[in-house]
Amino acid sequence: MTKPQGIAVLGATGSVGCNTLDVIARHPERYRVVALTAYRQLDKLFELALRFHPEYLAVADADAAASLRARLADAGLRAEVMHGPGALAQIAALPEVDAVMAAIVGAAGLPSALAAARAGKRILLANKESLVVAGRLFMDAARASGSALLPVDSEHSAIFQSLPAGYAGDAAAAGVRKIILTASGGPFRSRAAAELAHVTPDDACRHPNWSMGRKISVDSATLMNKGLEVIEARWLFNVQPGQIDVVVHPQSVIHSMVQYRDGSVMAQLGSPDMRTPIACALAWPERIDAGVAPLDFFSMGDLTFEKPDLERFPCLKLAFDALEAGGDAPAVLNAANEVAVAAFLAGKLRFVDIPRVVEATLAGVSCAASDDLDGLLSRDGEARRFAEGKVAAC
């Protein structure tokens, strides 16, 4: 029997992290949890440590690490507890780690995902913000080290599965005409524009089909999530912005499609359950049980399709524009969006002001291209400060 693969789950306490551990727990003969990381959810991380016995854990700061160490010692568990952003990158590159699940939310996940790419690890990429902020740098690093990059975002997993086996980024040679990203339309798909000024964070986080972390739930409600996914697709599949279409498909059964030159459209279908793309990325090219109920065609009802409404949901257009503008514009877009979404979730900004903060930040911060991680992170900081000023002025 072959040795189980060593897995590091970065962002283990989150929605994707927990779904990943659910799949891993079904296959102890294939996967071994080497490391788990979390930010501040110590209770949850402690419970996961009791269950999965990782050799390494990482948390936000020294105090959290000391408290976790004490609890582990009381429970008779031995694990090395690390802390701070540097610890995440260190964990991603550990020799015991074969595959890294990059499931931290936001640009905070970039340095560790990039460290995994530089170390040649198999990367299971949920953290789409890594590619939005540093698409070229990230793809170059993965290529140079020979990292296998497996998308976890359900749309990108669908596209990955709908492209020819071994697709290496040459869309023309593969006969690809369009990448078609499906979008559920989020909880406000049929809300009147006037009502959007009054929606609350809980309204925005009540997604019709998917259960996810709060930041991505708000992104789904503004359609910024789809915008970030357009940028993610550009880099993952090496296509031009004009080759990416967005189609609203409220049932979330078709997870995305590839349209070919000859008129064929390849699609991947499934229940809206993240364990499917997670299992696909973990085991690819094999298929493993993910605990997901099979799709029942007789109970699913109609599959419908609509054009996205860019008037009510300007974030999608802002993302396309940032991708067209190039340079650091996507990084600026992402930073401003993170600031605006956090302010909305904290009750300090209206839902309809999220695109306004993003647009103003794109106009107010230089988007000249940075050529390394430090440059991108400093641009990210600059955009955050600018966006915070805009939030305060709203």
Binding site for ligand NAD (CB under 6 A): 11-17, 38-39, 41, 103-105, 108, 126-129, 153, 210, 212-213, 215-216, 274
213 binds, among ligand NAD, Mg ion, none (CB under 5 to 8 A by kind): ligand NAD
127 or 361, CB closer to Mg ion? 127
139 or 223, CB closer to Mg ion? 223
Q: HSE-up of 150 (CA within 13 Å, CB side)? A: 21
129 or 382, CB closer to ligand NAD? 129
84 or 389, CB closer to ligand NAD? 84
162 binds, among Mg ion, ligand NAD, none (CB under 5 to 8 A by kind): none
Binding-site sequence positions:
13-16, 40, 127-129, 153-155, 184, 207, 213, 220, 225-226, 229
CA–CA separation, 210 and 121 (whole Å): 29
171 or 331, CB closer to ligand NAD? 331
**What's the token pair of residue 78?**
């031995």
For residue 342, which of 358, 318, 328, 365 has the smallest C-alpha distance? 358
40 or 136, CB closer to ligand NAD? 40
Helical axes 15-25 vs 275-283, angle rounded to 10°: 60
Residue showing the smallest CB distance to ligand NAD in the complex: 14
Helix (H, G, I), strand (E, B) or coil at 302: coil
184 binds, among Mg ion, ligand NAD, none (CB under 5 to 8 A by kind): none
130 binds, among ligand NAD, Mg ion, none (CB under 5 to 8 A by kind): none
CA–CA separation, 215 and 106 (whole Å): 8
C-alpha separations of 320 from 229, 242, 325, 362 in Å: 10, 9, 9, 12
Binding site for Mg ion (CB under 5 A): 153-155
For residue 16, the minimal CB distance to ligand NAD (Å) is 4
For residue 108, the minimal CB distance to ligand NAD (Å) is 3
For residue 229, the minimal CB distance to Mg ion (Å) is 6
Q: What is the largest CA-CA distance in the chain?
A: 64
Torsion sign over Cα 77, 80, 86, 91: negative
C-alpha separations of 92 from 151, 183, 236, 275 in Å: 17, 31, 20, 22
For residue 2, the minimal CB distance to ligand NAD (Å) is 29
182 binds, among Mg ion, ligand NAD, none (CB under 5 to 8 A by kind): none
For residue 41, the minimal CB distance to ligand NAD (Å) is 5
CA–CA separation, 319 and 134 (whole Å): 15
Residue showing the smallest CB distance to Mg ion in the complex: 153
Length in residues, the chain: 394
For residue 1, the minimal CB distance to ligand NAD (Å) is 32
Q: Can you give 61-119 as a three-state secondary structure string?
A: CHHHHHHHHHHHHHCCCCCEEEECHHHHHHHHCCCCCCEEEECCCCHHHHHHHHHHHHC
